[in-house]
């Protein structure tokens, strides 16, 4: 395992981190605690030192599993996140800070996370959504001062909204934020445009999330793929999206002359190839996931020619928003309900 600096924090993170959303047992179907614990142990034994979780992952379940597995070990870097008080992901424009991250909410969530993690201090505490409209709010500065002087937090970061890599630059300009977590993968390369140069100049750590585009860049999502009811991916790949990603993936592997089995390693190596990235955090729920991800980056940086070819596969879109077919279905349902009500009247 190779290690990199997390910006100016002085922390050295494994270049592959452990994304712990999936082990929270919400949104992802199939996570079992015993397998999750085995995956956590396998990750540590493979040299992974960075574990990224959140209070929102199973209402603290992911945090508690990490504590169950590692206790309060100081050898690992634990990052967690404060959820928005209004439970809105992503953050909406024109919503005031007091509705999302009031100071008392941030502090109470921090104490709850520390209890879950069985720790007195968390290495990195991140805002789980963000709007740069809040970057000059006096209450935000007051909250930052309090959590940084409380002894409960070593460093503070922001996890930016989905596909909004520039919606954080104002906050970063304050000098008070130590790291940024952002979607970065072969399809969404947009953080390279402004965010990465900005952070490199100011020595701010970058945590790359969603390296597999929620599964499409593993090559395992095809037109006929089905997901269990309640699984987040059934929503993410709703409507025509499975066909869209499958076609894109086929073009990708044909262009690079790869087999489908080589795609996950390519996806991780792409993220690690950018010098601004401190760590990339794929989700891992089993020992097999750990093994594949760690083996993928043994020869990390991709050749310049491969990176050049991958530039043409940039594809920015927001699958976290409802698909057109789903929106249309909901619209028809609403209209049908209205017609029934009018007929009844």
> Which CATH number applies to 3-344?
3.20.20.100
Please calculate the CA angle 249-252-258 and round it to the nearest 5 degrees. 105
Chain Cα centroid distance, residue 263: 20
Q: How far apart are CA 82 and CA 105, in angstroms?
A: 9
Place of tokens 């024109």: 94
Return the SS3 of 310. helix
Return the SS3 of 317. coil
pTM of the predicted structure, to 2 decimals: 0.91
Q: Are 20 and 51 in contact (CB under 8 A)?
A: yes
Q: How far apart are CA 46 and CA 331, in angstroms?
A: 49
Residues 6+ apart with CB under 8 A from 188: 163, 210, 213, 314, 315, 316
Return the SS3 of 316. coil
Label residue 21 exposed, middle or buried (CB < 10 Å: 0-12, 13-18, 19+): buried
Alpha helices in 203-345 (DSSP H): 232-236, 241-256, 263-272, 287-296, 304-311, 324-344
| Other beta carbons within 10 Å of 296 | 20
Domains of the chain: which residue ranges? 3-344
pLDDT in tens, the chain (345 residues): 899 999 999 999 999 999 999 898 765 556 688 999 999 999 999 999 999 999 999 999 999 999 999 998 888 999 999 999 999 999 999 999 999 999 999 999 999 999 999 999 999 999 999 999 999 999 999 999 999 999 999 999 999 999 999 999 999 999 999 999 999 999 999 999 999 999 999 999 999 999 999 999 999 999 999 988 778 888 899 999 999 999 999 999 999 999 999 999 999 999 999 999 999 999 998 899 899 999 887 667 899 999 999 999 999 899 988 765 544 454 444 344 444 444 444
Place of tokens 């504590």: 67
Return the SS3 of 342. helix
What's the token pair of residue 293?
């991800």
Q: How far apart are CA 205 and CA 6, in angstroms?
A: 5
Residues 6+ apart with CB under 8 A from 172: 158, 180, 198, 199, 202, 204
């Amino acid at each position: 395992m190779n290690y990199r600096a997390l910006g100016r924090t002085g922390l050295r993170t494994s270049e592959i981190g452990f994304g712990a959303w999936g082990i929270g047992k919400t949104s992802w179907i199939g996570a079992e605690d015993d397998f999750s614990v085995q995956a956590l142990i396998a990750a540590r034994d493979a040299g992974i030192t960075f574990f990224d979780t959140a209070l929102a992952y199973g209402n603290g379940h992911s945090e508690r599993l990490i504590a169950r597995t590692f206790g309060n070990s100081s050898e690992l870097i634990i990052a967690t996140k404060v959820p928005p008080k209004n439970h809105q992901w992503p953050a909406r424009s024109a919503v005031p800070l007091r509705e999302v991250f009031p100071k008392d909410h941030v502090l109470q969530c921090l104490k709850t996370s520390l209890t879950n993690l069985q720790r007195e201090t968390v290495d990195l505490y991140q805002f789980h959504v963000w709007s740069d409209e809040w970057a000059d709010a006096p209450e935000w500065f007051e909250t930052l001062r309090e959590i940084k002087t409380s002894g409960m937090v070593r460093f503070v970061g922001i996890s930016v909204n989905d596909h909004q890599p520039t919606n954080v630059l104002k906050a970063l300009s304050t000098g008070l934020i130590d790291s940024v977590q952002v979607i970065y993968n072969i399809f969404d390369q947009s953080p390279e445009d402004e965010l990465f140069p900005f952070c490199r100049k100011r020595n701010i750590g970058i945590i790359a999330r969603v390296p597999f585009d929620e599964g499409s860049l593993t090559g395992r999502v095809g037109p006929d793929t089905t997901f269990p009811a309640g699984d987040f991916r059934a929503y993410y790949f709703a409507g025509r999206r499975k066909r869209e990603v499958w076609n894109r993936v086929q073009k990708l592997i044909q262009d690079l002359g790869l087999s489908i089995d080589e795609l996950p390693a390519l996806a991780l190596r792409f993220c690690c190839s950018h010098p601004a990235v401190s760590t990339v955090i794929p989700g891992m729920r089993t020992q097999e996931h750990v093994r594949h991800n760690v083996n993928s980056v043994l020869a990390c940086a991709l050749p310049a020619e491969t990176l050049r070819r991958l530039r043409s596969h940039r594809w920015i879109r927001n699958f976290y928003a409802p698909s057109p077919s789903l929106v249309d279905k909901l619209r028809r349902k609403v209209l049908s309900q209205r017609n029934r009500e009018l007929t009844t009247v």
